[in-house]
A and B are shown apart, each in its own frame.
Chain A
């Protein structure tokens, strides 16, 4: 403060100066509040009726001071908030805690809504008497709209990414399926072409070559047919159209049949069955046969140097039966173990487990449709043990 002001203050009689200063200060404060445009700043009496109004309040809410002073502030609230008793609750909280803050929809004079940040402060005089509330309201509609748009955009982007990922999985699956189908087709074409070439070159094909090529064509068209069946099964799973018809059948007979048919396909594996004489069980015999065939074929395929492939049937005490296919093969690398029953898993890897995906996924689904489980164990000594557990009911 400058020296001249100090001397002026010292010279003037104190009460008059104080009253004038106070009047000036209140006038400046009133001007400040009334001219703020970005905030609605107004006062409520202890009952919630509007007792002052600023330019910001008029701009945001649309009422002039003449329109609104003396009216209850609850008219700024949408019907559902009124029904819930929100205005009264807000004043109660402000009174009890000194302050209440909220964000929500409020209603303008013209009935349109805006998104408001509201702070209500309880006001007390120097004796501690409650004299009303100060209310500061900001219009955050634009900010909220931007936030909602940002959120929607993010959701749309996530949705698009998920759709693209699903499409990619499907494309990769089709590509992997085509890849699988090409292997038997390659053999079929080679057998057919080599016989044709021989015939064209020499005018005849010897009986031995005819026998070999026809056997090859028969074998590999069967493989092709089984791949197509697998693809059809997958389509049926996807549509929920694969149904299981459970009737009592002898599991031992089913398993022995599978093993007997697999025996001629290998020269360097010893296939065996370890089971009680008969285990009648309510199953879809054809589908369970498909599962056991898949597991036995995998056991042979994934033990390329040969060894024992054993199928065990163990009735369990809890009214369940376990069918386990055990091999001494290459097992499954730890990083693939949790994925081998997943649909389409074969497409996500470029290594040799690639071809396993379809059959295991289908087997898993069939066993689940029976109310059972299919899981795999990897003994420390090597190889794999695929275990089907089927309930009696």
Chain B
């Protein structure tokens, strides 16, 4: 479920797969990041509602209720500052998928933890 009680969102992980949400958020928390999760695009929009934008959104593409395309479209229409979006996908055409929704970057599944940490570090100053 959503960790809406996190006071300041730093990284929002949006994926319908429970294993991926758990492993990625655990890995990033161990790196010292504040992470919250959402299971689909709609839940992500709800989390972002009324909060300051996170420093990074990690977005899966294929999800129920609202997929990555739907989320990106709705998020772009929002007023005010927006977080960079990095798509993570198992699709072979990850670059195309990312371009389709105007994402800032993509990372292919299965994700290499070192690559993920390096990528996140570029967007989010490390909290130590």
A330 touches B64 (CB 8 A): yes
A190 touches B62 (CB 8 A): no
A189 touches B110 (CB 8 A): yes
Please name all residues of chain A whose beta carbon is closer than 8 Å to the beta carbon of B114 when the two chains form the complex.
Answer: 193, 197
A220 touches B19 (CB 8 A): yes
From B21-29, B74-82, B120-128, the one touching the partner chain is B21-29
Please name all residues of chain A whose beta carbon is closer than 8 Å to the beta carbon of B1 when the two chains form the complex.
Answer: 268
B23 touches A352 (CB 8 A): no
Please name all residues of chain B whose beta carbon is closer than 8 Å to the beta carbon of A193 when the two chains form the complex.
Answer: 27, 112-114
A131-153 interface code vs B (CB 8 A; 1 in, 0 out): 00000000000000000000000
A194 touches B113 (CB 8 A): yes
Please name all residues of chain A whose beta carbon is closer than 8 Å to the beta carbon of B40 when the two chains form the complex.
Answer: 304
Report whether over half of chain B's contact residues are helix, strand or loop; otherwise say mixed: loop
B67 touches A182 (CB 8 A): no
**Which of B19, B62, B92 interacts with A352 by CB under 8 Å?**
B62
Please name all residues of chain B whose beta carbon is closer than 8 Å to the beta carbon of A383 when the two chains form the complex.
Answer: none
What is the distance, in angstroms, from A91's C-beta to the closest C-beta of chain B?
Answer: 71
Residues of chain B in range 90-105 having any CB-CB distance to chain A below 8 Å: 90-92
**Which of B20, B39, B64, B67 interacts with A187 by CB under 8 Å?**
B20
Please name all residues of chain B whose beta carbon is closer than 8 Å to the beta carbon of A223 when the two chains form the complex.
Answer: 19
Please name all residues of chain B whose beta carbon is closer than 8 Å to the beta carbon of A352 when the two chains form the complex.
Answer: 16, 62-65, 67
Residues of chain A in range 184-201 having any CB-CB distance to chain B below 8 Å: 184-191, 193-194, 197-198
Q: How far is the CA of A190 from the CA of B67 in the complex (A)?
A: 23
Asked if A183 is at the interface (CB within 8 A of a chain B CB), the reply is: yes
A194 touches B20 (CB 8 A): no
Asked if B8 is at the interface (CB within 8 A of a chain A CB), the reply is: no
Asked if A28 is at the interface (CB within 8 A of a chain B CB), the reply is: no
What is the distance, in angstroms, from B30's C-beta to the closest C-beta of chain A?
Answer: 6
Q: How far is the CA of A188 from the CA of B24 in the complex (A)?
A: 11
Asked if B73 is at the interface (CB within 8 A of a chain A CB), the reply is: no
Please name all residues of chain A whose beta carbon is closer than 8 Å to the beta carbon of B90 when the two chains form the complex.
Answer: 178-179, 182-183, 186
A190 touches B20 (CB 8 A): yes
What is the distance, in angstroms, from A231's C-beta to the closest C-beta of chain B?
Answer: 16
Asked if A351 is at the interface (CB within 8 A of a chain B CB), the reply is: yes
**Which of A182, A189, A197, A304 interacts with B39 by CB under 8 Å?**
A304
Given contacts A186-B20, A219-B19, contact A304 B65 (CB under 8 A): yes
Q: How far is the CA of A352 from the CA of B23 in the complex (A)?
A: 22
A216 touches B23 (CB 8 A): yes
**Which of B62, B64, B92 interacts with A302 by CB under 8 Å?**
B64
Q: How far is the CA of A329 from the CA of B55 in the complex (A)?
A: 33
Q: How far is the CA of A197 from the CA of B27 in the complex (A)?
A: 9
B65 touches A330 (CB 8 A): yes
B62 touches A175 (CB 8 A): no
Asked if A119 is at the interface (CB within 8 A of a chain B CB), the reply is: no
Given contacts A302-B64, A304-B65, contact A189 B19 (CB under 8 A): no
Asked if A69 is at the interface (CB within 8 A of a chain B CB), the reply is: no
Q: How far is the CA of A326 from the CA of B111 in the complex (A)?
A: 36
**Which A positions have Cβ atoms within 8 angstroms of B?**
175, 178-179, 182-191, 193-194, 197-198, 209, 212, 216, 219-220, 223, 268, 301-302, 304, 330, 350-352, 354-355
Pairs A–B under 8 Å by Cβ, sample size 20: A182-B90, A185-B109, A186-B19, A187-B19, A190-B23, A190-B111, A190-B113, A191-B26, A193-B27, A193-B112, A193-B113, A212-B26, A223-B19, A268-B1, A304-B65, A330-B64, A330-B65, A351-B62, A352-B16, A352-B65
Closest 6 CB pairs of A and B: A187-B19, A190-B23, A182-B90, A193-B113, A194-B27, A186-B110
